Structure formats: C-alpha cells, structure tokens
Amino acid sequence: MSYGRFEDPGPRSFRCLRILSLVMGGLLLLMIGFGAGVGAMWFAGADLQRAVSTLVPGPAAPAVVAPPEGSLELLDEVWSILHKEYVDPDELQPQELVHGAASGMVGAVGDPHTVFVEPISAEIMDQDMQGSFEGIGASVDMIDGKVVIVRPLPNSPALAAGIEAGDIILGVDGESLEGKSLLEAITMIRGPQGSTVRLLIQREGVDEPFVVPVTRDKVELLTVEYRMLDGGIAYVRLTEFNAIARDRLREALQEVASQNPNGLIFDLRGNPGGYLDMAVDVAGEFLPRGTLVLTENERGREPREYHVRGRGLATEIPLVVLVNGGSASASEIVAGAIRDHGRGTLIGETTYGKGSVQNPHRLTDGSSLRVTIARWYLPNGDNLDGSGIVPHIEVAPSPEEVRSGADPQLDRAVAFLINGE
C-alpha cells in the first residue's frame, strides 16, 4: 500500500511546520484515501461496501481537485487562535483536532454514508468484518453510562469464565471505565489471544464488585444461527454480510436440509449489511443461476448487472424472509431480489432504505474513509434510498410483546408456511 509523503517545505517557522504537518493531514485525507485499500463496515449504521473481489477495472480516475486557494491559511488561523486563546490549552489534543477537521470536511458533503472513522473504531470494524476477533467473546452495550454485558457468545472465554448477561464491567486491569466511551472500553477489553484481562464486575444480587480473570482467545462472531421449529420448519438467521457469511450460510442450509424441512424462514431482521459480493452470493442460495440480483450505477461507468453465479442450496423450498427497520443495504438487496422474482414472501416491517455502495479506504494513521461511489437498483428498478421495502405481510410487535420476549413476526412466518396464509 503506497501513500504520498510530505517533502521538506523549506525554511519556515517551527509553528508553521507543526501546523502543516497536522492540518494538511486533515485537508488531504480524502485525496490520500483514494490510494488506500479496503477497510471495514461502520457498525453504527447501515452499509454496503466493496470487497476486493468485486472491484472491476474502470475508466481512469479523474484528477483530484486541489483545495480552494487560502484553505491552508484559514486552518492555520483557526489553529493559531485556538492555541493562543482557548481557556483550557491542555485540552487541545492535536490528533483529535485533525480528526475533527477531517470529519467536518467529510460531513460537509451532506451524504450520511460518506464518513470519516477514527482509528480505534476502524480497527474494531476491520476485525468484525472478517468474522472473528481476539478478545473475551461477549456482546456489550452502554446503558446509563455503564458497560453492560448483553450476552456472552457461545463457547467463548467470557462464558467459560462465568461472565453473565447483565453483568456491569466497572474496570479493566485495575483501570476504571468511568467516563470511557463504549469504543474505548471495547479496545481495553479486547487483546491478543492467550493474554489475560481482569474485569471488575458488578452483578445484581452480589453485594460487592468482584474481579473475574478472562483468558482472551480468537472468537468467531455468530454470523449465522439455525434450528428446526415446530411443523418441520427450518429457521436460519444471518446477522451480517461479513467475509464468512456465505460459507456459514451454506453450512446452515446443508444442516437443516438434512432434516427434510417443509419450509424455510430466512431471518434478516437487524442485519445492517456488509460486503456487496456477499449480498450477491447469499441471494444466489435462494435464486436460480443467472438470475439478476441488482444493477449498480457508478460514476463514469456503464451500469453493471450482478447475476447469481452458482447453484444455490435453497432455490425451491417454500421461503419466508423476515425483515424490519434494521434490515439494511445488503439485506435489502437479498430481500428485494427474492421479492421481485416471486421467490418468497416477506414478513415483518418496512426495511431501512439504503440504496448506495461505499468504497472504504484505510488511511495512513489507521483511520478510515468511506465514500459513496455508486447507487444500486433492484431487479424491478427500485432504488431504496429513504424508502425501504414494504413486506408482503406487515407485522409489528407491540411494546408488551417485545418486553415479554414474544416474536409475533416469527410466529406469523411459521403459520404462513404451515397453513399457506
């Protein structure tokens, strides 16, 4: 991977050298990014991104437009005034200021899916999109300012160490998590395989916090879940379109097929998307070879059609696809292609509504930049930006059903496959 370098600009004051070394990084992040490689999905929102295998040769890249005249001087002025006048000078962190400048520049584009991602977040996303990471193996959330274990993953170090859902992590290796962001906490908890992390745990029903040592290991994300339901109905859930999605999905489909199911429920609820090639491959498990999955329109190129490339394992079994407002991007490609070709019935709630493709770039300091490079269209010509897919059968859980753990969408899907209505 090659990046440009800054040459010695000649005699200048020390202040200007410092400013240029920092501020030019903020101004030129977009340009540097065009030379970088593939990054990872922004897990805080829906995304569809290019994997290396989907990139195809295109026309020569247009010349990079130089920043407007006087831009560097303007940032120089802002930097100088902040350092001369801000009431708490120790709070001025140079790298944070540069990242803020980059984020502000990208935000000014006005596209919510073209974003700058700081290094810590980028590293976590990169690991997750590969389908595995090194750590304790537990999903966590920030609730009322505290890091809470949502659930330990199956066969994980956290589960083996006795970590339970609902546990609050107060500290990591003797350092308090008070005031830390969720990303900062995750970074502290994760670590190399074989190392040990000591978590200070607060648990309901236990008077005093206690320390739990956990030996980190390589943890595979739960990309696919599957089981057999009543009535001979197979259930398969895909959580994201990461690098191992197709392989794990095929394993699940082979397993449930061995039990001769009468129907199949494919659950894409809460799936935020992922790699474009994975969306095409996953759709191909349910649609005949050669079927059109989507058409992509990219700047400076002729429209490109994506068709099913192989022979799927579930192209004939009666099919229901579960969707909701968290089903986005790659999930919408798969659900939309199944709908448009009359292959299955969609049940649930209207999907997220995102019809664009992002190209991720890893930048020199470990941060990343996602740039919207194309829009995609379903086989019937729909672009879903801002609209989403309305399912054939709409079922919205009530607050009471959510609190009780009931799943009326899944119940409706089972009834539909058994009774045909």
In tens, the pLDDT along 184-216 reads: 888 889 888 999 999 999 999 999 999 999 999
> Does residue 45 have a pLDDT over 50?
no
pLDDT digits (tens, 9 = 90+) for 134-184: 889 887 888 888 999 988 888 899 999 999 989 999 999 999 999 888 878
User: How is residue 61 annotated by DSSP?
Assistant: P
Distance set, CA 158 to CA 85, 140, 201, 213, 216 (Å): 48, 12, 12, 9, 8
Which range marks the domain in which residue 177 is found?
134-220
Output the furthest CA–CA distance in the chain (Å, rounded). 81
Residue 98 sits in the same domain as residue 145:
no
- Per the DSSP assignment, residues forming a β-bridge with 171 are 176, 200
Same domain for 98 and 215?
Answer: no
User: From the candidates 126, 281, 354, 356, which is the catalytic residue?
Assistant: 354
User: What percentage of the chain carries pLDDT values higher than 70?
Assistant: 83
340 noted as active-site residue = yes
Amino acid identity, position 125: M
Identify the CA nearest to 43 among candidates 274, 236, 253, 256: 274
**Of 220, 246, 277, which residue is a domain's last?**
220
pLDDT digits (tens, 9 = 90+) for 215-246: 999 887 778 999 999 999 999 999 889 889 99
| Residue 60 located in a structural domain | no
Token pair, residue 364, equals 């020199």
Query: Looking at the domain assignment, is residue 416 inside a domain?
Result: yes
Helical (H) or strand (E) element with 264: strand 263-267
- 39 phi and psi, to 5 degrees? -105, -135
Q: Which of 116-120, 221-225, 259-263 has the highest mean pLDDT?
A: 259-263
**Residue 277 lies inside a defined structural domain of this protein:** yes
Q: If we measure between CA atoms, which residue out of 9, 74, 87, 1 comes closest to residue 368? A: 1
Which of 40-54, 194-208, 263-277 has the lowest average pLDDT?
40-54
Count how many domains the chain has.
Answer: 2
Please write down the HEC assignment for all residues of 3-54: CCCCCCCCCCCHHHHHHHHHHHHHHCHHHHHCCCCCCCCCCCCCEEECCHHH
Q: How far apart are the first and last CA of the chain?
A: 55
392-409 average pLDDT score? 88
Instruction: Write down the pLDDT at residue 12.
Output: 32
**Residues 144, 275 within the same domain:** no
158 and 219 Cβ atoms separated by less than 8 Å = no
* Same domain? 241 vs 210: no
One domain, residues 107 and 140: no
Q: Kindly state whether residue 9 falls inside one of the protein's structural domains.
A: no
The CA-atom distances, in angstroms, between 59 and each of 63, 298, 300 are: 12, 11, 7
For CA atoms 257, 263, 269, 274, the dihedral sign is positive
How deeply is 399 buried, as exposed, middle or buried, from its count of CB atoms within 10 A (0-12, 13-18, 19+)?
exposed
Asked if pLDDT for residue 68 goes beyond 60, the answer is: yes
pLDDT at residue 373 is higher than 70: yes
Indicate which residue of 128, 340, 356, 368 is catalytic: 340
Mean pLDDT of 338-358: 95
* Cα separation, 74 vs 80, whole angstroms: 10
Residues 46 and 138 in one domain: no
Question: What's the whole-number mean pLDDT along residues 83-111?
Answer: 87
Q: Is residue 239 part of a domain?
A: yes
Do 111 and 145 reside in the same domain of the chain?
Answer: no
Q: What is the pLDDT of residue 74?
A: 87
Structure token pair of residue 245:
């999605």
Per residue in 289-314, pLDDT (tens digit) is 999 999 999 988 999 999 999 999 99
Question: 144 and 112: one domain?
Answer: no
Distance, CA of 223 to CA of 241 (rounded, Å): 8
Is 354 a catalytic site residue? yes
The position carrying tokens 């809470």 is 148
pLDDT of residue 332: 96
Annotated catalytic residue: which of 121, 156, 327, 329? 329
Round the average pLDDT of the chain to a whole number and report it. Answer: 82
Q: Do 310 and 166 have their domain in common?
A: no
| 191: nearest Cα among 160, 161, 215, 170 | 215
Query: Would you state the pLDDT for residue 348?
Result: 97
Asked about 111 being catalytic, the answer comes back as: no
1 within some domain: no
